[in-house]
């Protein structure tokens, strides 16, 4: 795949970039390793100051960066502005709280026969981040902000269709005052990730992407015994029970399925609705999905822009065609519009069976699968049968149902009466084939730190 900015509204290649040569890549890794040796000695307070300065720079650049995101991957300009604002918040959050996250953890020294005993958190060095295009700034930032505050050095291998966003990340931290080479972008193809991960100068990796990519990176990391965090696919359940407010639930259901043009690992993708309210839910949900405006993502009136890549739209079409061919019913959408660009309309399907590919896999586009269920237990049984377990969502005013959902849903995150999303304040990650490890919060920061045990004996008499 070429490293290029291709406008998904028109299919026009706007700008291409040269891949790093072997010599250039080696030089960048050498400089990253050198930076890691000195950067780890800087104070947390100084790193926090640089993070705040990065937030200031990003706020100043917000309009241009938002337009760049929309141009490269097609999300609405409104959504791009929200993404930039989230990145600013993430930078300021870690600047404000990082010192507390990194404080030594004191033990009861007497219980271990010591005068003093504690755990101290130390950076591990150069961390490779392999990031996707769907949230091109936030995905990279939620790695970069905690990693840099912790004293690690980052090298970013971003998706090949968002090179300008990738290069901006490097420029942002440089302009914020961070030392040279503490954060670098590697313009390389996916086939060269293995070379970088196997390099002795790289200590660990984090990947957000597909299950096949996770298998590859996880296997390589295991072979060279390096820490890796994997955030992979999701086909999140969105469960609606009779006690909820259907107007509010359907409003959020529409946003859950179409946010980011339907291209997010935590989009609600499978909707399980109790039979007592299924007809009313479907009527409201389908009408709201059909009313969304599909169009130029730069226009304020647009609700859903194009999919990011031509191949991505082809994949979505194939899932829908397969389901319809095997008996699914299309309530709205289902066919690409007759216009340039990689658009696909908000789509609602019923009659999904396990013979259909979308039953078992993730559909990365604005396609909702709706089931009617007799109970919460039935919804959970179907939901948990899926190989992914990233986020999950319940709409209920019944405390017993909420407790059952939290206890039994097989997911890394459980949201009740609100849309599944990410915040720097709380951990993010999944179970099963959705990956392992956590991003964000204090847990995400400590994924790439050495929790070093310190034991100091009693003074000699």
Residue 72 appears among annotated catalytic residues: no
CA atoms of 83 and 139, how far apart (whole Å)? 10
Catalytic residue among 72, 87, 265, 447: 265
Per-position b or e across 32-55, b if 16+ CB within 10 A of its CB? bbebbeebeeeebeebbebbbbbb
72, 231, 362, 439: which one is catalytic?
231
Residue 268, helix vs strand vs coil: strand
H helices of 305-365, in order, are: 310-325, 357-360
Give the SS3 label for residue 293: coil
* Residue 72: Cβ within 10 Å count: 26
Token output for 172: 């942002």
* Distance separating alpha carbons of residues 43 and 456, to the nearest angstrom: 24
**CA-wise closest residue to 123 among 182, 196, 181, 180:** 182
Reduce the DSSP state of residue 331 to 3 states and report it.
Answer: strand
Directed axis angle between helix 77-101 and helix 44-73, to 10°?
160
Query: Could you tell me which of 299, 301, 306 has the C-alpha nearest to residue 133?
Result: 306
Q: Are 92 and 55 in contact (CB under 8 A)?
A: yes
Tell me, yes or no, if 265 is annotated catalytic.
yes
List CB contacts of 441: < 8 A, sequence separation 6 or more: 424, 425, 426, 427, 428
Residue 433 in tokens: 């084939």
Structure tokens at 153: 């050095």
By annotation, the residues acting in catalysis are 231, 265
């Amino acid at each position: 795949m070429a490293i290029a900015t291709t406008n998904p509204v028109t299919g026009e290649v706007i700008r291409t970039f040269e891949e790093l040569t072997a010599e250039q890549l080696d030089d960048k890794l050498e400089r990253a390793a050198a930076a890691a040796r000195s950067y780890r000695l800087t104070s947390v307070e100084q790193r926090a100051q640089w993070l705040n300065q990065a937030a200031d720079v990003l706020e100043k650049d917000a309009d241009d960066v938002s337009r760049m995101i929309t141009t490269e991957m097609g999300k609405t300009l409104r959504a791009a502005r929200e993404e930039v604002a989230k990145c600013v918040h993430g930078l300021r959050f870690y600047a404000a709280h990082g010192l507390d996250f990194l404080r030594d953890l004191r033990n009861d020294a007497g219980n271990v026969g010591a005068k003093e005993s504690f755990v101290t958190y130390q950076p591990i060095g150069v961390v490779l981040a392999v990031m996707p295009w769907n949230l091109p700034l936030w995905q990279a930032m939620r790695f970069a902000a905690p990693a840099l505050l912790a004293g690690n050095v980052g090298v970013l291998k971003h998706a090949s269709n968002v090179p300008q966003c990738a290069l901006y990340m490097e420029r942002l931290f440089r302009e914020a005052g961070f030392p040279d080479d503490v954060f670098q972008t590697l313009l390389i193809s996916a086939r060269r990730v293995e070379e970088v991960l196997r390099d002795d100068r790289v200590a660990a990796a984090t990947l957000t992407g597909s299950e096949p990519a996770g298998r590859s990176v996880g296997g390589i990391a295991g072979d060279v015994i390096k820490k890796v965090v994997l955030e992979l696919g999701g086909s999140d359940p969105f469960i609606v029970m009779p006690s909820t407010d259907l107007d509010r639930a359907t409003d959020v259901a529409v946003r859950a399925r179409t946010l980011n043009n339907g291209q997010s690992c935590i989009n609600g993708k499978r909707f399980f609705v109790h039979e007592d309210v299924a007809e009313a839910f479907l009527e409201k949900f389908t009408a709201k999905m059909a009313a969304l405006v599909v169009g130029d993502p730069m226009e304020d009136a647009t609700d859903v822009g194009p999919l990011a890549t031509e191949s991505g739209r082809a994949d979505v079409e194939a899932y829908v065609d397969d389901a319809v061919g095997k008996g699914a019913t299309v309530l709205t959408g289902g066919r690409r519009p007759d216009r340039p660009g990689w658009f696909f309309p908000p789509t609602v399907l019923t009659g999904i069976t396990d013979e259909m590919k979308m039953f078992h896999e993730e559909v990365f586009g604005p396609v909702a699968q709706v089931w009617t269920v007799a109970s919460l237990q039935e919804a959970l049984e179907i939901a948990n049968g899926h190989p992914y377990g990233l986020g999950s969502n319940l709409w209920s005013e019944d405390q017993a149902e909420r407790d059952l959902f939290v206890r039994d849903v097989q997911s890394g995150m459980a949201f009740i009466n609100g849309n599944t999303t990410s915040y720097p304040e709380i951990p993010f990650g999944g179970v099963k084939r959705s990956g392992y490890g956590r991003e964000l919060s204090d847990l995400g920061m400590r994924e790439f730190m050495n929790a070093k045990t310190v034991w100091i004996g009693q003074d000699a008499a």
